[in-house]
Structure 1
Amino acid sequence: MALKKESGKGRYMKLSFEDYQEIRSWMYRNARQIDLTRWQYCFEKGSKEAVLSALSFYQNDDGGFGHGLEADSWNPNSSPYTTLRAITILKEIEFTDVHHPIIKGILKFLESGTFRSENGWYFNIPSNDGYAHAPWWTFNMEANAVEGIGVTAEIAAFVFRYADKDSELYKKALTYTDIIINKLGKSEEYGDMGIRGYCVLLDDIQQANLTWRFDCKFLKETLSKLIHDSIEVDTTKWVNYTVTPSQYITSPESIFYKGNEEIMSRELDYLIETRPQKGVWDITWSWFENNAKYAKEFAISQNWWKAYITIDKINLLRNFDRLDEQII
């Protein structure tokens, strides 16, 4: 049962200790090892080493990642996007050792030039088609031109933080960043993860002391407008796949929080109110509408995703002080 709390701005909801215990039990019963170790790291003082160990089983000899780490694509071969999924996990556990085999492997894969064009890294790759996957992972170069924007932005952000500044990879990331920033504000289509990718890129440009190289004022102002315009404010539509504030704003420290406080608060209440009893939040997308191809695989993927996003949602609630004091 959700708790009602008072603040200077009125009543707001918090996830109760009982709710949290139900979620925790579900995670231990259903999550795969990579997500269980993430859960333990985030909420139970688990170790980074346990997460790294679980993550290493998805890394290939070429340094990239595959094997369904991206739960909607069961391709065992390395792809830029699945490798980005690994990068996101490393960022979550604040792992920065450039000498570790996982990070060295990722840099090796990116340096190879595999699956990239003159404009950036691919979103999907040809070998996806040979394995169970969601429709959007079917190889399509037209999709790569748009969806690749977000992938390129986040991979470039990783390169700025970890690659040698004199390396060809670093120079390539600079070039790609120039290209995608030049598109910002001029295009009407940035793909499913493009705007979020720009947000990640802006943050890492600042952390990598590259503010002299890129126009961060332009980035902030343009992204603020794009974010405001893209958020779905009709909460009745949130049951479907749509853009909610947390896609861009994950803590009160976000530079994009100002001006979006009310809609963010509504999402936090929504998460607490809509969690299924005895379970966790479901995903808002499917692999098929009229075609049940890969139905068995999707059922498994759905459970993997539920565990993955549950960690994100509990982290979000914690960041906004929406967990009962007994929890953490």
Structure 2
Amino acid sequence: MPACLHLDEAGIRIVSAGHTDPSRYSQGFVRARDFVLRNARLLDRRLFAYLFEDGPREAVLDALRAYRNADGGFGNALEPDKRCPESQPVDAEVALEILDLVDGADDPMVHDLCDWLDRNADAAGGLPFALPSVNAYPHAPWWRTDPDPPPWINPTAAIVAMLTKWGVDHTWVRRGTAFCWSRLEEEQPTGFDDLRCAIAFLEQAGDRARAESWLEKVRSYLLSSAEIERDLDAPGYVHPPLDWAPLPKGFGYGLFERSELSAGLAALRSAQGEDGGWPIKWQAVSPGVELEWRGRVTIDALLTLRAYQAAGFAPPG
């Protein structure tokens, strides 16, 4: 069962699952918990309860279903920066991330979503960054798209990666895999968001020799480029080591020295706001959307801190 998190000025501690009495927690965790309960969406409040307080898995799945459409896809601003109710590829990605956090790969929603992906992919198997329906609703500028948007590695590769990780056998997974390989051969991704998706795909791809060759190319590119932000105080939409290695495992983790990760953890701890939540790095489309995002970002920060503490990264003190 998920373990509770114990966070204070010195760092984090994992304690036994099942505690819901705030007096059992340190002040830092109480503040984070209070922020989520006051401000986060129902879905994220239930996800928090599952991950840190032994809350019920089915409650998370029930909340996720509210974002599901009759066509089998997900929409309704599951990714908060576009308020489109219609199904979108990025909302499919977010849904799969949540299902993965609650061991939901066996939920019937997954097969229905694969059918939606198959219907909305192009002939080569790729999905666009966003479907045109996003334009009719409030959205961040980067979500605006053309009437006939091209397929893209983001989020296609991340979606393929999750379904491959789970061993899902579906026509679209095979089509999406072929698209990702083809896209990589045409053009190496750049920028954090595209690279994140490509790395996820390469970590899960069945053709391991081909994938490892590509991961080495990506590694060389990252270490010789300015994609990784080394200044932990740099403002704006920048990506320091922990953005590339949110967990102490996998490709991203291997990019950095232990000292870099320890410094990143200290910076992450200090970024907790006075209100108990963690900030976002971009301009949200409204104050309400900013709170929605901060609820999820706060959960992600706690997950990163817990995972690194469990891996032996002792907090300063």
TM-score by structure 1 length?
A: 0.80
**Residue 190 (str. 1) matches residue 193 (str. 2):** no
Residue in 2 that maps onto 1:217: 212
Residue in 2 that maps onto 1:152: 156
Query: Structure 1: which amino acid aligns with 2:283?
Result: S
Counterpart contact for 1:150–1:191, Cα < 8 Å: no
Residue in 2 that maps onto 1:3: 10
**Residue 109 (str. 1) matches residue 129 (str. 2):** no
Is the partner of 2:264 in helix, strand or coil? helix
Is the partner of 2:309 in helix, strand or coil? coil
What does the per-residue CA deviation read over 1:5-61, in whole Å, with 9 as the maximum and x for residues that have no partner?
A: 9xxxxxxxxxx9211111111111111111001111111111221110000000001
Residue in 1 that maps onto 2:68: 59
Residue in 2 that maps onto 1:294: none
Aligned equivalents of 2:99, 2:11: Cα separation in 1? 35
Aligned equivalents of 2:98, 2:27: Cα separation in 1? 28
Shift in CA distance, 227/240, structure 1 to aligned 2, threshold 3 Å: same
Residue in 1 that maps onto 2:295: 307
Q: 1:180 aligns with which of 183, 187, 203?
A: 183
**Residue 73 (str. 1) matches residue 82 (str. 2):** yes
Identity of aligned residues (%): 25
Deviates more, 1:101-110 or 1:34-43: 101-110
TM-score by structure 2 length?
A: 0.83
Query: Structure 2: which amino acid aligns with 1:27?
Result: V
Is the partner of 1:320 in helix, strand or coil? helix
Residue in 2 that maps onto 1:48: 57
If asked which structure has higher relative contact order (CA below 8 Å, sep 6+), I would say 1
What does the per-residue CA deviation read over 1:241-283, in whole Å, with 9 as the maximum and x for residues that have no partner?
A: 1112222212222233234133222221111112222321111
Deviates more, 1:262-271 or 1:297-306: 262-271
Residue in 2 that maps onto 1:39: 48
**What's the RMSD between the two structures over aligned residues?**
2.7
Counterpart contact for 2:75–2:84, Cα < 8 Å: yes
Task: Write the mapping of 1:157-306 to structure 2, written as runs, cut at 5 A.
Answer: 157-161=161-165, 165=169, 167-183=170-186, 186-187=187-188, 189-205=189-205, 210-211=206-207, 215-228=210-223, 229=225, 230-237=227-234, 239-260=235-256, 261-287=258-284, 298-306=286-294
Task: Write the mapping of 1:82-121 to structure 2, written as runs, cut at 5 A.
Answer: 82-97=91-106, 100-112=107-119, 114=120, 116=122, 118=124, 120-121=126-127
What does the per-residue CA deviation read over 1:170-198, in whole Å, with 9 as the maximum and x for residues that have no partner?
A: 33123212213314xx54x5354111112
Structure 1 regions of 5+ residues with no counterpart? Answer: 6-15, 288-296
Q: 2:138 aligns with which of 132, 146, 156?
A: 132
